[in-house]
Amino acid sequence: MSTIAITGATGQLGRLAIAALQARGVNPTALVRSPEKAADLGVQTRAFDYTTADPAALKGVQTLVLISSNDFNDRAGQHANVIAAAKAAGVGRIVYTSILKGEASPMVLAQDHIATEAALRDSGLSTTILRNGWYSENYTGALGAAIQHGAIIGAAGEGRVSSAARRDYAEAIAVTALDASHAGKIYELAGDTAHSGADLAAVVAKASGKPLAYVSMPEADYAAALVGFGLPEGFAAVLADSDSQAGHGALQDDSGTLGRLIGRPTTPLTETVTAAL
């Protein structure tokens, strides 16, 4: 059993984190709700659920990578379960994927992360907090529809977002999980270059060869539009809030920490958009 284990290992970030560790010669243990879905990962798997969080599944784990849950019903509660299980199992250190700016973030999305960071502090465990900024892939899922309608919509106005590719953040997980000198550290992680909605539209227009504009609308209108696209109301409200707060700098960071941590420049937005198209 590897001494590094990763929760949510079949998720998009989890899979990339495992690949990043494997590229560095380490096979972590995948902690997953459905082990059969992890068969293609090529690593040892253990059944593990954020809601029940059995400490037995963490036996022998030195470093636990806690990738934040994607269940928005009770994320903070689920994370607290995992932290308690880690403590009971004698885990040495938790590497947690938080959100850019942590408790200083005004985003609704940040609340669960703020609560989790507090739970980690209270646990007495050694921790490394990776405050992840926006993934460039957050923008690429809806590009087909945007190109079709000739517009990318949002609520960020002229606000700028320092996004990076998901694999950049995955490499940061690998780097910090492998090196105990990152214990006790909090890292603000974001892309090297910030972009506005208009910049994003220009990148997509160039990559697709189709004219595209960025249309910024009031937060409530954007939320309603997302519901119209089929998103659940609660989730649409959270996304609209995130975009609106991005308009005030909530997702901008020019520290260059992510690039320094992974030892290379972060992936340009153009590259992620081109790959998605």
Mean pLDDT within 65-85 = 93
Mean pLDDT within 38-50 = 93
Which class for 99: exposed (0-12), middle (13-18), buried (19 or more C-beta within 10 A)? buried
d(C-alpha 65, C-alpha 31), whole Å? 10
Which pLDDT band holds residue 72 (cuts at 50, 70, 90)?
confident
Mean pLDDT within 66-74 = 89
Write out pLDDT tens, residues 77-133. Answer: 999 999 999 999 999 999 999 999 999 999 999 999 999 999 999 999 999 999 999
d(C-alpha 6, C-alpha 67), whole Å? 7
Write out pLDDT tens, residues 208-217. Answer: 999 999 999 9
- pLDDT value for 216: 96
Which pLDDT band holds residue 71 (cuts at 50, 70, 90)?
confident
User: Is pLDDT of 1 > 60?
Assistant: no
Q: Do 46 and 36 touch, CB atoms closer than 8 A?
A: no
User: Is pLDDT of 2 > 90?
Assistant: no
- pLDDT value for 145: 87
Which pLDDT band holds residue 8 (cuts at 50, 70, 90)?
very high
Do strands 45-47 and 186-189 pair parallel, antiparallel, or not at all (unpaired)? unpaired
d(C-alpha 42, C-alpha 50), whole Å? 22
Q: What domains can you pick out in the chain, each with its CATH number? A: 4-134+165-189+254-263 (3.40.50.720)
d(C-alpha 119, C-alpha 160), whole Å? 31
Write out pLDDT tens, residues 150-192. Answer: 999 999 999 999 999 999 999 999 999 999 999 999 999 999 9
Mean pLDDT within 47-72 = 94
- pLDDT value for 45: 95
Query: What average pLDDT does the chain have?
Result: 95
User: Is pLDDT of 142 > 80?
Assistant: yes
Mean pLDDT within 4-32 = 96
Mean pLDDT within 59-74 = 92
User: Is pLDDT of 251 > 60?
Assistant: yes
Share of the chain above pLDDT 70, in %: 99
Q: Rounded to 5 degrees, what are φ and ψ at 32?
A: -140, 150
In order of 107, 236, 258, 265, the CA distances from 244 in angstroms are: 9, 12, 24, 28
Mean pLDDT within 5-23 = 96
pTM of the complete model: 0.96
